[in-house]
Structure 1
Amino acid sequence: MPSHPTPAPATWSIPDAEAMHEFGRALAGRLRAGDLVVLTGPLGAGKTTLTRGLGEGLGVRGAVTSPTFVLARTHPSTAWGPPLVHVDAYRLASAVELDDLDIDFARSIVVVEWGRGMLDGITDSWLDIEIERPLGASRAAPSPAEAPIDSDLDLDEPRTVTITAVGPRWAGDVAWAREAGPTA
């Protein structure tokens, strides 16, 4: 397999939950069937809020909520586009377990929360989005097992978002990511 350069990550501050949602809507315009987005960050960082924005931007059916206890939810498109598959990999131990979910990666846009390190053999390209929240807020957040269902704990406080583009699909520049997000 040919080597593809990894562009420098794009980083900025997103001021609140509404801006995180809008960032997801903007990102939806860049995605197509076969794309994988991996979201990393502590509980309450805004992973599900970003995914809700993606769902709205993609025009999918159904409320986008955290799939913590069902592991994966598929949201069909209402606009003849690819479905959005939203995965919570917190309880998964390996890429094999992720693969066992039998997700149609080629025909879907897949978002995997807590999926960093579980992509071996799944695909050769993805967007890795890390969301950091203020240190005090993440310390106050319960573990995913203790959190209420669909609790994003999205306090309106700034988050630092870093996108790293991996593989041939994203081998170009991530300047679009800098343009999609608010200025730092």
Structure 2
Amino acid sequence: MSAADVRVELPDADATREYGRALAGVLRAGDLVLLSGSLGAGKTTFTQGIGAGLGVRGRVASPTFIIARVHPPLAAGPALVHVDAYRLGSLDEVEALDLDTSLEESVTVVEWGEGLLESLAQDRLEVSIERPHGGLDAGAGENLDPDELDAAAGTRTVRIRAVGTRWAGVALPVVG
């Protein structure tokens, strides 16, 4: 892991939100954040923290069915463009969203953007969120851990890879 890469363990959803809020402290207009992780890992929870840290209007929720949602700032600062690329299958569909027109004036956070949207910006943060779901596949009720079923519980491992010169010398938060 280079100096521009960070790995943190976050004990629950609240800590994940707080870490997103801390990360918002180093984000500025033009920044692209690509989130990856399995369903239920905490991508939207993390984005809620970024939204809170940026001080944007509106409830940050998964934009799964509308693909992209813009949250304007409540005061000075950039808007948050929150995108769910899960249903996007090609660069043509990405281009139809016209994200590059708002990229320079907003912080753009894309869930499921890995392998599809890196071309939007040379400088970006690639964030991977892992949350073990071991008990969910067990099948037998007595083997299910209640923390695994509770969306707010469970440790998340967040790895951030800073790509590009924008991030040279920027200290990413290291604790949740």
SS in 1 for 2:21: helix
* Corresponding residue SS for 2:104: helix
Structure 2: how far apart are the matches of 1:60 and 1:87?
15
1:158 equivalent among 135, 151, 155: 155
Conserved 8 A contact 2:4-2:172: no
1:149 is aligned to none
1:38 equivalent among 23, 34, 37: 34
Distance change (3 Å), C-alpha of 1:13 and 1:120 = closer
Which 4+ stretches in 1 moved above 4 angstroms? 137-140
Distance 1:155 1:90, change over 3 A: same
Aligned residue for 1:134? Answer: 132
TM-score by length of structure 1 reads 0.81
Matched letter for residue 154 of structure 2:
E
What per-residue deviation string (whole Å, max 9, x for no partner) do you get for residues 102-153 of structure 1?
A: 121111100000000112431111101100111415758xxxxxxxxxxxx6
- Contact 1:99/1:122 (<8 A) preserved: no
Identity %: 55
1:89-111 CA distance string (max 9 Å, x none): 00001333222201211111000
- The alignment's TM-score, normalised by the length of structure 2, stands at 0.85
Quick one: structure 1 residues 155 and 136, their matched pair in 2 at CA, closer, same or farther if it must change by over 3 Å? farther
- In structure 2, the partner of 1:77 is 73
Q: Which runs of 5+ in 2 are unaligned?
A: 139-149
Judged with a 3 Å threshold, the aligned counterparts in structure 2 of structure 1 residues 77 and 15 are, in CA distance, closer, same or farther, namely: same
* Residue among 110, 127, 130 paired with 1:112: 110
Larger radius of gyration: 2
Computed over aligned residues only, the root mean square deviation of the Cα atoms, in angstroms, reads 1.9
3-state secondary structure, aligned to 1:93: coil
Q: Which amino acid aligns with 1:39?
A: L
1:1-184 aligned at under 5 Å gives the runs: 7=3, 9-103=5-99, 104-136=102-134, 139=137, 154-172=151-169, 175-178=171-174, 181-182=175-176
Deviation of 1:165 after TM superposition, in Å, equals: 0.5
Q: CA deviation at 1:9?
A: 2.4
- Once the two structures are superposed, what CA deviation does each residue of 1:46-101 show, in whole Å capped at 9, x if it has no partner? 11011111111111111100000000000000112111000000000133322220
C-alpha distance in structure 1 between counterparts of 2:135 and 2:5, whole Å: 24
In 1, distance between residues paired with 2:136 and 2:39? 7
Aligned length: 162
Contact kept, 8 Å, 2:63 with 2:82, in 1: the verdict is: yes
Structure 1, unaligned runs of 5 or more: 1-5, 141-152
